[in-house]
Chains A and B, each alone.
Chain A
Amino acid sequence: MMTKWTDDTLMAFADGELGAAQRADIERELAADAALRQRVTTLTMQRERVAAAFAPVLDEPVPDRLTGLLRPSSTSPTSPSTAPVVNLGERRAARERSARLPSWAQWGGLAASVLMGVLLGMQFKSSGTDAAIELRDGQWVAGGVVEQALAKQLASQPVAGAPVAVQLSFVDKAGSYCRTFSTAAMAGLACKQGERWAVQSLAAAASIPSSAVRQAASALPPAVLSAVDQRIAGDALDPVHERQARDSGWRR
């Protein structure tokens, strides 16, 4: 069925450019219209995919010939012995300031909420299971089978045939436990905040290479992997520490 929305309007919706009224109209129709959901998902996934493809440039060291142009002119010619120390620090700080924004934050909160809404719509309609991701107090959190898997399953002991796979467990820079997960319909990253698993990143199954539930971290979509890169402090938990964390309820 052809809907009344033009491609340009849906593109603006996916890019977070529509006014509140029109946005609400589309959001209402998304819940009932699978074809419309597909059109919007294609746009949001493409945006996410293109952004992820260029994101690694931010982590490359900036060539000296570029940073050198912007050094304070008083220090560069006269104090070569101290300049490199200062500039390394500056460069690192500069890189972290601009590189460490989560990709959704770079799009603005609107686009992120749009993407969430679309993906959640798909999840609700396409599976018979309980809602796996829910909105509680304005925050997207893991619920149902995903919440259970994050609480109990160990990445080091994959469960064959389980509806949810957990690939990686780690401690983030804020000191919370975070875990990646995937179902047949989606993959994401959630971090423990109080009693909840707050969803940090979510991608639809369109970007997961196989319809099977994937156990390997390398099978996670680029957006989720880059969310892990942005949050992780040190290495992923080894099996012993993962089990300890699970047994203590993922509290630190």
Chain B
Amino acid sequence: MADSSQNVRDEIAALLPRLRRFGRTLARQREDADDLVQTAVERALGRTDQWQPGTRLDSWMFRIMQNAWIDETRARERRGQTFVAEEHGEQIGVSTTDAQIDAIAVRKAVAQLGDDQRAVVGLVLVEGLPYKEAADVLGVPVGTLTSRLARAREALQAILADAEGTR
């Protein structure tokens, strides 16, 4: 089984850019997001035999990340730590394009959503998972997923409209 285990490692390695991207929707900050990816990869490597070939490896990894994030959130709450909501290092410089300015505004808006809503935004709008697949990742019925997604979209639209109104 050494070969198949190595195949899974290679496939997870190929997914790293997307895992980092999903991490950024969950964790808001680059360092926290990469910590989360690291935790999830370590957990996944300890149980590659639990992944079923023929199912989506990205969804399996997203599920591990989501669970690790819930664990982390609870641990921080117990320790009384607060999250820093805004991303560091996003300065608007002279060479910043309209696209980059818009991207920063959108990421800030997503960061203001609650944990559940950020997860559905990340899975459906950013990672492009079908509703059923995203619902399985989160362990909720499809109806719950779609109502969370609808509320997240309304909230995002309101936050962005506010930001544009005060610009």
Contacts and interface: CB of A to CB of B under 8 A. Distances in A.
Interface of A: 7-8, 11-12, 15, 17, 42-43, 46-47, 49-58, 60, 62-63, 65-67, 69-70, 72, 90-91, 93-95, 97-99, 106-108, 209, 218-222, 225-226
Contacts of B17: 57-58, 60, 62, 94-95, 98-99
A50 B126 contact: yes
Interface residues of B, number: 46
Contact of A97 (B14, B97, B153): B14
Contacts of B6: 72
A42 B157 contact: yes
Contact of B107 (A54, A95, A108): A54
B83 to A, nearest CB: 18
Nearest to B102: A222
Interface in B85-106: 97-99, 102-106
A63 B157 contact: no
Contact of A58 (B9, B21, B38): B21
B99 A221 contact: yes
Given A50-B121, A69-B45, A8 B146 contact: yes
B12 interface: yes
Interface in B60-88: none
Contacts of A52: 99, 102-103, 106
Contacts of B124: 15
B124 to A, nearest CB: 7
* 4 tightest Cβ-Cβ pairs between the two chains A and B: A53-B106, A222-B99, A70-B13, A53-B103
Given A15-B131, A52-B103, A98 B14 contact: yes
Interface string B102-124: 11111100100000000001101
Given A11-B153, A70-B9, A62 B128 contact: no
Given A15-B124, A94-B14, A65 B38 contact: yes
B29 interface: no
Interface string B126-167: 111011000000000000001101100100110000000000
Nearest to B147: A8
A205 to B, nearest CB: 14
Nearest to A222: B99
Contacts of A43: 153
A222 B146 contact: no
A54 B107 CA distance: 7
Contacts of A54: 21, 24-25, 103, 107, 122, 126
B106 A49 contact: yes
A186 to B, nearest CB: 16
Contacts of B12: 70
Nearest to A58: B17
Residue of B13, B124, B153 ringed by the most chain A CB atoms within 10 A: B13
B126 A66 contact: no
A90 B12 CA distance: 12
Nearest to A42: B157
Contacts of A7: 150
8 contacts: A42-B157, A54-B126, A69-B41, A93-B14, A97-B14, A106-B128, A225-B97, A225-B99
